[in-house]
Amino acid sequence: MVKTLKEISELIDGELLGDGEIEIIGVSGIKEAREHELTFVANSKYLREIERTQASAIIVGQDIPYDGKPLIRVDNPYFAFVKVLELFAWRKRKTTYGIHETAIIGDNVQIGEMVSIQAYTYIGDNVQIGDGTIISPFVYIGDDTKIGNETLIYPNVTIREDVEIGNRVILHCGVVIGSDGFGFASVSDRHHKIPQIGTVIIEDDVEIGANTTVDRATMTNGATIIKRGTKLDNLIQIAHNVVIGEDCCIAAQTGIAGSAELKDRVTMAGHSGAVGHITIGADSTVFAKSAATKDLPAGSYVSGFPAENHAQQLRIQASLRRMPEMLQAFTRLQERVTQLEAQLNTTDDKSDDS
């Protein structure tokens, strides 16, 4: 795909400085970019690269002076570059619409317009698939599942029965939606499986990374819910009956235990976790390798295990780093106290003799 610089500047609502007829065929980082590619500068440490880059044009902030290199000035260079990336990414993806001859389609399946169902996909009975949805090869979709419009499902995704998926959802390779929750009743040293017969609801504009699993709720009327706009990284475990609010961001290797609730805009950093049946308030952050073990009020910043106030944890970590020197100082104090005690004892003995 080829776009002129003028067309791109109009797309991102930017101020064009330089030749608008330059043809752009791709996008790249400022160090890697070549002729007829577009790049961006959003971090001041890359300003020196503006003179050295081979890119034909650069997306920059409002404070960058024009020195002859074609520029597009915008308020947010990073977000503008994301919009250009989306433009080129969708044009590069080759999609054949229709149903591949090897796909297995169940009874009473409703398929919208401009849908792509690719090779070796299995779709169960009573499934609904919205307009513009793309289902890649080797996807399994269970009975009575509903999938919205313009959703993208990558290869080897498994969507179990009775699941609801909204519009513009992205499910990456290996995602499993609606697997059984980890529920067992222990009697006489044996574990008896508790049937998991609830559902999963994934709202609009959610993205779920590769090999992430979202368990179904336990009860008939229960649901594990991931709300609008939330983004999940690769390798995340979401247990049964969890509710994740809108616009949350959860990084890789995070685990959320059963019936926990994350309010809107919660951030869970890599390798963090939350125990079951707690609530993490809106706009909170749980830092990397930390575990939330109790309810957290809105706006919390916590770290450590168990997770506590992040500022307090930083003070604790700073103290721990000084521990060897503190122990040495304590040892010296002990030795000095021992010497002083010995001197006092000697003085007392002489007093007694006199």
Residue-range definition of the domain harbouring residue 186: 98-312
Q: How does residue 83 score in pLDDT terms, banded at 50, 70 and 90?
A: very high
- Per-residue pLDDT at 201 exceeds 80: yes
Q: How does residue 100 score in pLDDT terms, banded at 50, 70 and 90?
A: very high
Give pLDDT, residue 347.
74
- Are 156 and 177 contacting, i.e. CB atoms less than 8 angstroms apart? no
Give pLDDT, residue 261.
98
125 and 63 within one domain: no
176 and 31 within one domain: no
281 and 148 within one domain: yes
Would you say residue 279 lies in a domain? Answer: yes
Handedness of CA 118, 119, 121, 123 (dihedral sign): positive
What is the spatial distance between Cα 274 and Cα 290, in angstroms, rounded to a whole number? 9
296 and 258 within one domain: yes
Give pLDDT, residue 9.
95
Give pLDDT, residue 90.
63
What is the spatial distance between Cα 20 and Cα 56, in angstroms, rounded to a whole number? 11
Q: How does residue 351 score in pLDDT terms, banded at 50, 70 and 90?
A: low
133 and 220 within one domain: yes
104 and 11 within one domain: no
73 and 159 within one domain: no
Domain boundary residue among 92, 119, 152?
A: 92
Share above pLDDT 90 across residues of the chain, in percent, rounded to a whole number: 76
Strand-by-strand arrangement of the 26-27 sheet: 15-17, 71-73, 57-60, 37-40, 26-27
Averaged pLDDT for residues 108-117: 97
Name the residue with tokens 């649901």: 223
Specify the CATH number for the domain of residue 54.
3.40.1390.10
299 and 193 within one domain: yes
Give pLDDT, residue 343.
84
Would you say residue 335 lies in a domain? Answer: no
240 and 165 within one domain: yes
Would you say residue 326 lies in a domain? Answer: no
236 and 166 within one domain: yes
The region of weakest confidence among 24-38, 166-180, 328-342 is 328-342
Would you say residue 329 lies in a domain? Answer: no
The region of weakest confidence among 54-68, 151-165, 266-280, 309-323 is 309-323
Question: pLDDT tens for residues 152-174?
Answer: 999 999 999 999 999 999 999 99
User: Is the bond leading into 306 cis (omega within 30 degrees of zero)?
Assistant: yes
Give pLDDT, residue 349.
66
Q: Which residue, 261, 229, 262, is CA-closest to 246?
A: 229
Q: Which residue, 268, 266, 269, 267, is CA-closest to 282?
A: 266
Averaged pLDDT for residues 214-218: 97
Domain boundary residue among 60, 92, 124?
A: 92
The region of weakest confidence among 145-154, 164-173, 220-229, 329-338 is 329-338
171 and 273 within one domain: yes
Would you say residue 136 lies in a domain? Answer: yes
Give pLDDT, residue 257.
97
Would you say residue 325 lies in a domain? Answer: no
Averaged pLDDT for residues 121-144: 98
What is the spatial distance between Cα 327 and Cα 137, in angstroms, rounded to a whole number? 62
- Per-residue pLDDT at 350 exceeds 90: no
Domain boundary residue among 92, 109, 136?
A: 92
Q: How does residue 348 score in pLDDT terms, banded at 50, 70 and 90?
A: low
Averaged pLDDT for residues 313-334: 84
Higher pLDDT, 304 or 178: 178
Averaged pLDDT for residues 129-145: 97
Handedness of CA 193, 177, 294, 220 (dihedral sign): negative
- Per-residue pLDDT at 199 exceeds 60: yes
Would you say residue 317 lies in a domain? Answer: no
Would you say residue 170 lies in a domain? Answer: yes
Give pLDDT, residue 353.
62
What is the spatial distance between Cα 236 and Cα 242, in angstroms, rounded to a whole number? 13
Share above pLDDT 70 across residues of the chain, in percent, rounded to a whole number: 97
Specify the CATH number for the domain of residue 213.
2.160.10.10
124 and 44 within one domain: no
**Number of domains the chain is built from:** 2
Strand 184-187 versus strand 190-193 pairing type: antiparallel
Give pLDDT, residue 91.
53
Averaged pLDDT for residues 98-119: 97
Question: pLDDT tens for residues 223-250?
Answer: 999 999 999 999 999 999 999 999 999 9
Q: How does residue 314 score in pLDDT terms, banded at 50, 70 and 90?
A: confident
Residue 129, CA distances (Å) to 96, 134, 293 in order: 16, 9, 39
**Active-site residue list:** 240
